[in-house]
Structure 1
Amino acid sequence: MIYFNVPVKSLFVASSVLIAIGSTLAISVSTQATIPTIIAQTKPAPQTDAAKQQLLGQWQTKDPESGDLVTFIFAPEGKLFILFPAPEGAPESPPVALGIKYQINSTAKPGQIDLVFTEEESIKSIFEFTDKNQLRVELEGRKAGQSRPTAFSSEATVFEKVSQTTTLPANTQVIDLETEKKNAADNQLPRPQSEAKLYIGMMNKAQQVYYREQGKFATEFEETGLGTEPGSAYYTYRLASPGNEKESVMITAQAKDSKLPSYTGVVFVTKSNGKATTIATICETIKPSTSPPAMPTAPSSGSSEIKCPDGSRPIQ
């Protein structure tokens, strides 16, 4: 697991493509121990100059469910930036991009591509350039540690090239996963806490997506598209809709070890320019506790601040 020290509502965007990628890092807690062994066997894939040159630039695909445009910017030296759409209700927000690495082997048929999040976590997939100058990549449902697919499915993601530029928009906030992981290690952030924060962040965003599509929040883990209730050696996760499932939803991470803090994630429905939108946060107990924070306080009229209850603090 990797801890992102950025606002959850900005990072986890309303896109099934990005949720699928994010799920690679947030879910499958029970399989983490096997991932390093699999990734350790991966050797850098050779890259041909022609394929590298064709790949460079900005590629976009439209999420079929949300309609959001997802932008992949393939830059020189094997750098890939996934540019997130602006959060709903905040189009003026600075752009946010996830910075990772990529490797290709265009001599294989179909071509091979690795999306490298960290040294321990990457997605092995396949790609091809179509006759219409499109890029097709097998992304849907891919997870770190899975073997590489041998053929494209009907769910393969198709990108259109929109620009040759490999630079990011001005003022873009870049989240580099290797840097975030190193910072967490330097600060001696325990791995269990990283797990809880990331999973709750993903669940908050999945609930925002669900609300936009359904007009209410999901009451079961399966409804969010992030799988069943997660199993963890460190935390017990619970999903609840206090009061009204059309107004708020809460997920808690209750520590099983008294030396760890507990967490509560919450999503509220608010009004922005007369339009219903959602806002999320995560509260962490200030001291180690096996009791998650109580329900946070919803933002007051005209405010975007969610107040964590006494004994806890916001972590974003």
Structure 2
Amino acid sequence: MHPNFWRYILFMGLIGLNNHIFAQRAIAQTPINSPQIQPSIPNQPNLSQPLWGQWEAKDPLTGDILRLVFTPEGKFYTLIIPAGVSESSKIPTLELAYQVNSQSKPQQIDIISLKNGQRILSIWELTKDGKLRLDFGKSQPGTPRPTTFGAGTILLEKTAASTELPANIQIYNPTSNSASSVKQDIDLVNREQTIYFLENNEFANTIQQLGVKIPLVTDDYIYQLQVSSDKTGKVVFTAKAKKANLNSYVGAVFEYKSKEREKTIASIICETDVPTQTLPNQPTLVEDIAAPIRCATGSHPTQP
């Protein structure tokens, strides 16, 4: 799995799926020379029209597909289509906004959260063979825009001119129920730990190092971060239920070498099969390229 490919996906998830947490984070805003435009205002057609449509890139290891959709109305959708998924399977997507500045060199594009207006400052261009080259830099709101295409560049191929989403695509809307909230919290920590490892070659041993403001004790759960002594290999973030009618959870991020001997990062969230105030046993690595992490007996994989 190419780390730069997934790095983009991770941060897109942080803006959309976890924007209720992003709004609580203290992120220093980088001054932007161009005028600020509200996300609801469409791009000028002559500037954004080359982007309209659907673009895809394929993960060379797993076969998963990253699809980006740019609409004439200035909306931007990002989704991951797992390899082998059926056409009837429900696939979540994030609804964001985008704004382009084609007069700059390289051309600029901002990816914008519709909830809080935060932006990822990026650059783009179309190659001679019609592919879309994107560089999201550090992929974090508040960080400078890249000035040249670097190691984090993604190359996508246009697969459709239509911007209509298929019937099986569901636009994600965060909910406030306890189960959904705790899974989103664990997912956020998993994603931030993955990014932290890619940048520091070790996992963070505190929530504060990740810059995430999640209370470790709530009315419903007690959270705990567990890191190995050498800060590599595996990191675990647990959520122990305080009430008998709630399930307990464990999230884990593993660093390991694939069959191709490439350094790979994978994560999982495991939920107890029944409501319990006892944490599930920790997940383990298995020799399965499609699902390299397995939840322990008495728990099952879940999504935020």
TM-score (norm 2): 0.60
Tell me the distance in 2 between the aligned counterparts of 1:104 and 1:22: 22
CA distance in 1, matches of 2:283, 2:60: 33
Work out whether residues 296 and 307 of structure 1, in 8 Å CA contact, stay in contact via their aligned partners in 2.
Answer: no
User: For 1:128-277, what aligned pairs fall within 5 Å after superposition?
Assistant: 128-139=125-136, 141-175=138-172, 179-180=173-174, 183-184=175-176, 194-200=184-190, 202=191, 222=197, 228-232=203-207, 234=216, 235-238=223-226, 251-253=236-238, 263-265=249-251
Do the aligned partners of 1:112 and 1:125 also contact (CA within 8 Å) in 2?
Answer: yes
Q: Shift of residue 158 of structure 1? A: 1.8
Task: Please tell me whether the aligned partners of residues 4 and 152 of structure 2 are also in contact (alpha carbons under 8 angstroms).
Answer: no
- CA 1:131–1:224 in 2, change beyond 3 Å: closer, same or farther? closer
Q: 1:38 aligns with which of 24, 29, 33?
A: 29
Aligned partners of 2:206, 2:267: CA distance in 1, in Å? 27
**Which amino acid in structure 2 is aligned with residue 34 of structure 1?**
A
Give the superposition deviation at 1:138. 0.5
Rounded to whole Å, the distance in 1 between the matches of 2:25 and 2:252 is 30
Q: Deviations over 1:123-176 (max 9, x none)?
A: 11111223322221113642222111112225421222222111112221222x
Q: Distance in 2 between matches of 1:59 and 1:84?
A: 12
Residue type of the alignment partner of 1:122: R
2:5 to 17, 21, 25: 17
The structure richer in helix per residue is 1
Residue 283 of structure 1 deviates from its aligned partner by: 2.9
For the residues of structure 2 that align with 1:190 and 1:94, how far apart are their CA atoms?
A: 17
Q: Is the 8 A contact 1:55 1:74 kept in 2?
A: yes
Structure-2 separation of matches of 1:83 and 1:230? 30
What secondary structure, in the 3-state scheme, does the structure 2 residue paired with 1:38 have? coil
Q: Which amino acid aligns with 1:265?
A: G
Instruction: Tell me if 1:119 matches 2:112.
Output: no
Q: Which runs of 5+ in 1 are unaligned?
A: 1-12, 207-220, 268-277, 298-303
Amino acid at match of 1:133: G
Pair 281,162 (structure 1): closer, same or farther in 2 beyond 3 Å: same
Q: Using a 3 Å threshold, how does the CA distance of structure 1 residues 51 and 237 change in structure 2: closer, same or farther?
A: same
Instruction: State the shift of 1:113 in Å.
Output: 0.8
Q: How much has 1:308 moved relative to structure 2?
A: 4.7
Tell me which residue corresponds to 1:9.
none
> Matched residues in 2 for 1:314 and 1:191: separation?
13
Counterparts in 2 of 1:227 and 1:314: CA distance versus 1, 3 Å: same
Q: 2:44 aligns with which of 48, 51, 55?
A: 48
Matches within 5 A, 1:95-114: 95-114=91-110
Percent of matched pairs sharing the same residue:
26
Aligned residues of 1:265 and 1:280 also touching (Cα < 8 A): yes
Q: Which amino acid aligns with 2:9?
A: I
Amino acid at match of 1:54: P
**What secondary structure, in the 3-state scheme, does the structure 1 residue paired with 2:26 have?**
helix
Given that 1:60 and 1:162 are in contact with CA atoms closer than 8 Å, whether structure 2 keeps it comes out as yes
Matches within 5 A, 1:60-71: 60-71=56-67
Q: Does the Cα contact within 8 Å between 2:100 and 2:109 map onto a contact in 1?
A: yes
CA–CA distance in structure 2, aligned partners of residues 109 and 98 of structure 1: 28
Alignment partners' CA distance in 2, 1:174 and 1:199: 22
